[in-house]
Amino acid sequence: ELIIDFDINRSIISVGPPGNPISYHLRPVMRVIPRALSGSLSATVTNPENEAVACAIQNGDTLTTARVHPQSGAFLLGFLPGGDYTIMVSDQNGAAYQADPVEIIAG
Protein backbone atom coordinates (compact mmCIF):
# COMPACT_ATOMS: atom_id res chain seq x y z
CA GLU A 1 0.00 0.00 0.00
CA LEU A 2 1.43 3.37 -1.05
CA ILE A 3 0.77 6.74 0.55
CA ILE A 4 0.72 9.82 -1.68
CA ASP A 5 1.32 12.84 0.54
CA PHE A 6 0.23 16.17 -0.97
CA ASP A 7 1.93 18.91 1.07
CA ILE A 8 -0.52 21.83 0.89
CA ASN A 9 1.71 24.05 3.05
CA ARG A 10 4.52 23.90 0.49
CA SER A 11 2.29 23.74 -2.61
CA ILE A 12 0.49 27.09 -2.42
CA ILE A 13 2.80 30.03 -3.09
CA SER A 14 1.62 33.58 -2.38
CA VAL A 15 2.68 36.28 -4.82
CA GLY A 16 3.01 39.86 -3.64
CA PRO A 17 3.91 41.59 -0.40
CA PRO A 18 3.85 39.55 2.84
CA GLY A 19 0.47 39.81 4.55
CA ASN A 20 -1.15 41.26 1.41
CA PRO A 21 -0.69 38.80 -1.45
CA ILE A 22 -1.83 39.75 -4.93
CA SER A 23 -2.45 36.16 -6.01
CA TYR A 24 -1.51 32.55 -5.35
CA HIS A 25 0.26 29.93 -7.46
CA LEU A 26 -0.21 26.18 -7.09
CA ARG A 27 3.02 24.20 -7.38
CA PRO A 28 2.14 20.72 -6.13
CA VAL A 29 4.63 19.13 -3.76
CA MET A 30 4.02 15.40 -3.33
CA ARG A 31 5.91 12.38 -2.14
CA VAL A 32 5.13 8.67 -2.31
CA ILE A 33 6.04 6.30 0.51
CA PRO A 34 5.06 2.69 1.28
CA ARG A 35 2.84 2.66 4.40
CA ALA A 36 4.85 -0.22 5.91
CA LEU A 37 8.03 1.90 5.75
CA SER A 38 6.57 4.98 7.44
CA GLY A 39 6.01 6.27 10.95
CA SER A 40 4.70 9.46 12.53
CA LEU A 41 5.34 11.90 15.33
CA SER A 42 2.69 13.69 17.37
CA ALA A 43 3.46 16.38 19.92
CA THR A 44 2.07 19.46 21.61
CA VAL A 45 3.38 23.02 21.61
CA THR A 46 2.88 24.92 24.89
CA ASN A 47 2.41 28.36 23.26
CA PRO A 48 0.56 27.68 19.99
CA GLU A 49 -0.43 31.26 19.09
CA ASN A 50 0.60 33.10 15.92
CA GLU A 51 -0.10 30.34 13.38
CA ALA A 52 2.77 28.01 14.26
CA VAL A 53 3.97 25.35 11.82
CA ALA A 54 5.94 22.20 12.70
CA CYS A 55 8.51 20.69 10.31
CA ALA A 56 10.30 17.34 10.15
CA ILE A 57 13.83 17.86 8.79
CA GLN A 58 16.22 15.09 7.71
CA ASN A 59 19.66 15.75 6.22
CA GLY A 60 18.79 19.42 5.71
CA ASP A 61 15.60 18.66 3.76
CA THR A 62 12.14 19.48 5.13
CA LEU A 63 10.18 16.29 4.43
CA THR A 64 6.80 17.33 5.80
CA THR A 65 5.09 20.16 7.63
CA ALA A 66 1.96 20.45 9.76
CA ARG A 67 0.04 23.35 11.18
CA VAL A 68 -0.11 23.51 14.96
CA HIS A 69 -3.68 23.61 16.29
CA PRO A 70 -4.14 27.19 17.60
CA GLN A 71 -5.97 26.19 20.81
CA SER A 72 -4.60 22.77 21.79
CA GLY A 73 -1.09 23.17 20.37
CA ALA A 74 -1.25 19.62 18.96
CA PHE A 75 0.31 18.61 15.66
CA LEU A 76 1.00 15.40 13.73
CA LEU A 77 3.86 14.85 11.31
CA GLY A 78 2.89 11.72 9.42
CA PHE A 79 4.13 9.31 6.77
CA LEU A 80 7.81 9.77 7.62
CA PRO A 81 10.34 7.16 6.50
CA GLY A 82 12.17 5.61 9.45
CA GLY A 83 15.24 7.52 10.62
CA ASP A 84 16.45 10.46 12.69
CA TYR A 85 14.72 13.84 12.35
CA THR A 86 15.11 17.35 13.67
CA ILE A 87 11.72 18.82 14.58
CA MET A 88 11.34 22.57 14.26
CA VAL A 89 8.33 24.72 15.17
CA SER A 90 8.14 28.34 14.08
CA ASP A 91 5.43 31.00 14.00
CA GLN A 92 4.61 34.10 11.96
CA ASN A 93 6.37 36.36 14.47
CA GLY A 94 9.70 34.62 13.86
CA ALA A 95 9.78 32.68 17.13
CA ALA A 96 11.29 29.23 16.57
CA TYR A 97 12.05 26.11 18.60
CA GLN A 98 14.22 23.21 17.48
CA ALA A 99 13.98 19.90 19.32
CA ASP A 100 16.82 17.45 19.82
CA PRO A 101 16.87 14.83 17.05
CA VAL A 102 14.17 12.17 17.39
CA GLU A 103 14.07 8.70 15.88
CA ILE A 104 11.03 7.68 13.85
CA ILE A 105 10.53 3.92 13.71
CA ALA A 106 8.73 2.66 10.60
CA GLY A 107 5.86 0.24 10.79
Whichever domain contains 14, its CATH number is 2.60.40.10
- Rg of the chain over Cα atoms, rounded to whole angstroms, equals 15
Fill in the DSSP letter of residue 35: G
Predicted confidence band at 107 (pLDDT cuts at 50, 70, 90)?
confident
Q: What is the mean pLDDT of residues 2-20?
A: 85
Sequence-separated (6 or more) residues with CB below 8 Å from residue 79: 3, 5, 31, 33, 35, 38, 40, 64
For the chain, give the percent of residues with pLDDT over 70. Answer: 100
Our count of domains for the chain comes to 1
Question: Is the CB of residue 22 less than 8 Å from the CB of residue 15?
Answer: yes
At residue 92, the pLDDT reads: 87
Query: Counting beta carbons within 10 angstroms of the beta carbon of residue 78, is it exposed (0 to 12), middle (13 to 18) or buried (19 or more)?
Result: middle
- Quick: pLDDT tens for 24-74: 999 998 989 899 999 999 999 988 778 899 999 999 988 888 999 999 999
pTM equals 0.75
At residue 87, the pLDDT reads: 96
For the cut 80, the answer to whether the pLDDT of residue 23 exceeds it is yes
- Domain with 100, as residue range(s), is 2-104
| Average pLDDT of the chain to the nearest whole number | 90
Predicted confidence band at 19 (pLDDT cuts at 50, 70, 90)?
confident
